[in-house]
Structure 1
Amino acid sequence: MACEEDSREATCKDRDLDWHHYSKSSGRSGRSGRSRRSSHRHKDRRRRRSHSRHRSSSRRSHHRRSRKRSRSVEDDDEGHLIYHSGDMLRARYEIVCTLGEGAFGKVVECIDHSNDGARVALKIIKNIDRYREAAMSEVEVLEQLKSLDSERRYACVHMLDWFDYHGHICIAFELLGLSTYDFLKENNFQPFPIEHIRHMAYQIIRAVRFLHKNKLTHTDLKPENILFIDSDYDMEYNPEKKRDERTLKNPDVKIVDFGNATYEHEHHTSVVSTRHYRAPEVILDLGWDHSCDVWSVGCILIEYYLGSTLFQTHDSKEHLAMMERVLGPIPTDLLQKTKKRRYVHRCKLDWDVHSSSGRYVRKHFKPLKHYMMSKGEDHQKLFDLIEKMMEYDPANTVFPFKPD
């Protein structure tokens, strides 16, 4: 588990820090060890706007901030809103406590006094232009999803409200439970029961199919971005392992964090997804589409089954070598098309199996179905599902069944 934690912390070198979204977990867990890709996509969105408009927006930024600022509203040096428990926003949201903090801002638990005192999660974005623009992009996606799923049939988090508070974009969400990663962590990385994985997989796949049907790719699916609606549990002592183990009462989940979601017609940046859940076509710079979400879901499901991340690395070539050890050789045609020529030698992955890294991969990784803990039908079906999701060629990647 120490290796697990060190690896998760190391991702901060690659990408901005993330927070635990809209979840009661964050106050206990602090910042996420894994991180998120974001600035690249938002830079590309800004690049599509005219240069003059961008310069004009930048010139107005300081004026807007000083115009909206009052003596009682202040920011810290990083652009975070300075607040205290009991503060009221818009004479409606009373801040209770901080749930989490990240590169984009903070998430706080609030009492919504306009909704019978309901508890909500309020995401308060930094008062900085690039983060404000990124937040408005997320608001657009969330508004679209809300209109498409007014009956809440799909397991996607719902935005309840949003507003601009003295230069800080604030987004209100339903308050959910722990993220699936946090639950694993607090349960000593004990795998989820197979029946819970089946239930969670159904909801995740159904939600992702809903996104894809509406021409939207999430691009950052990972256990941190899948939250339990209610993470209450029963506790039981395991005498063999000499520790308490938690079992969820309700495995219902919701997908969160649409800050990096991309429509089909939008510019696709070359790199998407958090490292451990990144599809091979993204690593090989072959372009990507909805299939990168499918790969990520496959990685998530096997993590739920094992209790730990399958591909623990921060080196792209080693990542590809791990894939080959688990899933077999990468197809020659994909290696011939990649722009990353340093990964290829004579139409094969340029990988030295006798190096220290090569020996590590061979020792610690094995073919996919060798990870099965039982030959039972449920286990076999789960691994058949994961195998179909973790397909090298995006052209052949589809969800293997229609949950609707």
Structure 2
Amino acid sequence: LLDWFDYFGHICLAFDILGLSVFDFLKENNYVGYPIEHVRHISYQLCHAVRFMHDNQLTHTDLKPENILFNRSDYISVHNRKKRRYDRIVKCSDVRLIDFGSATFDYDHHSTIVSTRHYRAPEVILELGWSQPCDVWSIGCIIFELYTGYTLFQTHDNREHLAMMERTLGHIPYRMTRKSRTGFFYHGRLDWDFYSPEGRYVRENCRPLLRYCKEESQDTLDMFDLISKMLEYDPADRICLAAAMTHPFFLRIPSNQRLNYRYHPPHLPPPQQKQSSESSGEPNGNGDASSRRKSSASAGVVR
């Protein structure tokens, strides 16, 4: 935030001028995936930003390529002899995360459905409740899309979405399906006909996660290992972003691209004193909730 001002009762916020979103750049580049170095750097910055939110009891809930913007989207054109075309390579892969309009504090009301369809975690679809791990699932889907150029789960239907997940990641654990009241399961198994026209579409357009790996370089294998940890069905088993930041995929981030992470916990006011009729001055163990919330909301991002 550079500045703000009041314009006839309207609060205006001034931010840096940013470039294209990573999705729009991908679209203008004919959906050619980003080089592995750019995938690593963009993903690293995304994890860094969202980790800060999680440490401040916030869940973004709408992570997607459209909400990740390049600082500048200048590019060079490189001839691809194999494909007989020119591919665009962004000059600088520095990015910013935007759109916090759906961000939710832990103590706020949690809507049943959050996240854009393609990046929605299974616990959200199954209506089992959600918290910060749903952001991690979204990041796993985003990393896959940055690498391949296309969406991992291209669907607009809940049951089909779950079928795609099972085709790609294996069966959803029974401990999750038995808790769901959505009616998508029968005796713990997804109620889905893989031999129907819809089932044939899923079979033809989805495959096990590692079969999307284009090459067996260590970088690519590390990336898919990280994606698989982010796409654990059970949010309790899903990797947290503090652990993700130390994953081997990010260990090869150049020193000039590394970000210092300094977490400053929100300042909580001391417990208020409850005054009795005798003015005993006994401490009241319940601090002012509204003050705590205001303090949490005022925490700033540190780069």
Normalising by structure 2, report the TM-score.
0.78
1:307 is aligned to 2:158: no
1:321 is aligned to 2:154: no
- Corresponding residue of 1:381: 222
1:176 is aligned to 2:18: yes
Structure 1 residue 164: deviation in Å?
A: 4.2
Q: What is the correspondence of 1:334-345 to structure 2 with a 5 Å cutoff?
A: 334-341=176-183, 343-345=184-186
Partners of 1:227 and 1:266 lie apart in 2 by 27
Structure 1 residue 165: deviation in Å?
A: 2.9
1:188 is aligned to 2:30: yes
- Corresponding residue of 1:282: 124
Partners of 1:239 and 1:385 lie apart in 2 by 31
- Corresponding residue of 2:244: 401
Partners of 1:247 and 1:335 lie apart in 2 by 43
Structural RMSD (CA): 1.3
Q: Which secondary structure state, in structure 1, belongs to the residue aligned with residue 89 of structure 2? A: strand
- Corresponding residue of 1:255: 97
Partner amino acid, structure 2, of 1:371: Y
Partners of 2:6 and 2:145 lie apart in 1 by 38
- Corresponding residue of 1:238: 80
Q: Which secondary structure state, in structure 1, belongs to the residue aligned with residue 171 of structure 2? A: coil
Alpha carbons of 1:167 and 1:318: their partners in 2 closer, same or farther (altered >3 Å)?
farther
Partners of 2:41 and 2:58 lie apart in 1 by 23
Partner amino acid, structure 2, of 1:309: T
1:267 is aligned to 2:267: no
- Corresponding residue of 2:69: 227
Q: What is the correspondence of 1:115-126 to structure 2 with a 5 Å cutoff?
A: none
Deviation string, structure 1 residues 172-229 (Cα, Å, up to 9, x no partner): 2111111000110111111000111111111111111111001111100000000111
Partner amino acid, structure 2, of 1:368: L
Partner amino acid, structure 1, of 2:181: K
Where do 5+ consecutive residues of structure 1 fail to align?
1-158
- Corresponding residue of 1:356: 197
Structure 1 residue 402: deviation in Å?
A: 3.5
Deviation string, structure 1 residues 343-366 (Cα, Å, up to 9, x no partner): 111111111111101011011110
Task: Report the count of equivalent residues.
Answer: 245
Partner amino acid, structure 2, of 1:257: D
With CA pairs under 8 Å and 6+ residues apart, which has the higher RCO, 1 or 2?
A: 2
Q: Aligned to 2:134, which of 264, 273, 292? A: 292
Deviation string, structure 1 residues 50-96 (Cα, Å, up to 9, x no partner): xxxxxxxxxxxxxxxxxxxxxxxxxxxxxxxxxxxxxxxxxxxxxxx
Q: Which secondary structure state, in structure 1, belongs to the residue aligned with residue 236 of structure 2? A: helix
- The structure in which a higher percent of residues are strand is 1
Deviation string, structure 1 residues 113-134 (Cα, Å, up to 9, x no partner): xxxxxxxxxxxxxxxxxxxxxx
